[in-house]
Structure 1
């Protein structure tokens, strides 16, 4: 009797067609986006008008006009300022934030056990927010899904990245290769260590080296920390986007980090997952007690302001107290819209949806990241005082 089935006889050939079609469609979508927001090949830098630029600098529009009369103008004759230009004017005005002498860069792992909590959304928007405050930011995409790479570099990771673009060889064979993996992004002062699906192999090979007598002198779970030691002094904050699993790469991120952020949706299943995750964290830090955490917070994401969300938020705050950020990231259609443009809300020149929706998204993000920034400034100030 013939086998009755609803699937293919040759699964490999069948899914190969999916791969080809997926890459073609991804390339087509990217080309459409870059034609809309760039020159067809790359995304152009975000610019701001006089009112917003003056606010970012901390001076009046009159001061801005007097001190930068030669700013490039759009077709309507209005001045448009890039972030690089704004930072130069901040230096002139004495308003550019400088991390205190003697303080160390923050290396913040964004980690969770459950997927779908907004981890990558948090990291990408955090990178752009901190850069807008004048900080130098590095993002390391340690998730094989590579969503942070897609958003921050506006590319199709599996199509556009070669082996030499990835940190795999650096972490497995020659650490000196690592600085060459760092690339600039379209957003000023945001650099990226990219990823693609090959990162899955890296996770497995590091785990294999943990069990073998590898000639590599650095322990497999300390490779990310060793790599960042080569470049960390070039940055104020390093954000690591971890996969939703406690594999070797996530353990590396925890080893490297001196700060930890845990995004979590206000739902029962997310809370239950986080309870399990904290058990793993407790065991991890118990084994590595010499690792201090300068900063830890839970951030509630995709909050819908429903009765159920409010109830779970109250329960989470009752359990974890001050470890939960005061500000929440509210659920926003504009945040979702931005991702369809391989972008963050901060990079949008104009709203995709309604202006009111865009303003609410900016407001909820600014409040959350502003709270974190104030916390980090306190950490840096305390370190600077000890010098």
Structure 2
């Protein structure tokens, strides 16, 4: 049985000021269709499992009501609330222990709540291959995206040269395209990213994983006992996992498990994936032009003069953004905040948000 786990505890700070403390990125609706990012993610995954009954969501304590509002069909017992943030390792272990309590032989998948997929059918095909492989092996399966450009904002996975025996799909077709992971690489500079692409061996690390629940639990027990010990003990009591959280180390699953385990494999994939990491993603996500010259992406009321390569976004129906003589900037008007930033500095938005949170006078804008 396949149990997808959605990680929905992120703050989405690089999408500020549209993404705010009370409504992080995963609850935003960024394109036509009227569905939020977390709703679209749940739609894709529930089609691969037994509907919402086998879908779990791990979220932050202050986002519980948002999840229930956006996913009203989610059973309450499938909503795992973290009292404090402890990064992805603790969140994934929380999900694994919860699944193992009732279905120790289950296949578990891990998926961020706020990513975009252009081709849901191709996504489903890759996930079926990953599930088929995990059913037959003790390996930890990662999904690696075929790079479209030398991105500096993604981590990379180097795939090994030999294709592994992948078992069979339900339809009887070989689940091909599975490779041993050679190594994980941190976010590179531009030149290193170009070198990665030139080799043809590097994939973007999507943050999506599939494994047998017992396989990941063994990995935690061996490689991260400081997490596994207190959480496994707490899992023996319903509700006990939340009580164990404050004393847990804050670490990602990449550092705690994947970069240290020897049984990690990768499936290369192409299904139009984007992690929507910051405002620059709108150039890939949306098509619009308020300036009339085809060089800008604009949402809402905007007027541009001698402006090129800009991303202009306003949420207020009565608000207007007017730009003159600007190049390669992001201008966002959302509620009571206006953001103006060069496109090559959008990663620094998170630093501004952190500064706001530290100021009693400005915290309400965070």
Larger helix proportion of the pair: 1
TM-score, shorter chain, exceeding 0.5: no
Larger radius of gyration: 1
Larger strand proportion of the pair: 2
**Shorter-chain TM-score range:** under 0.3
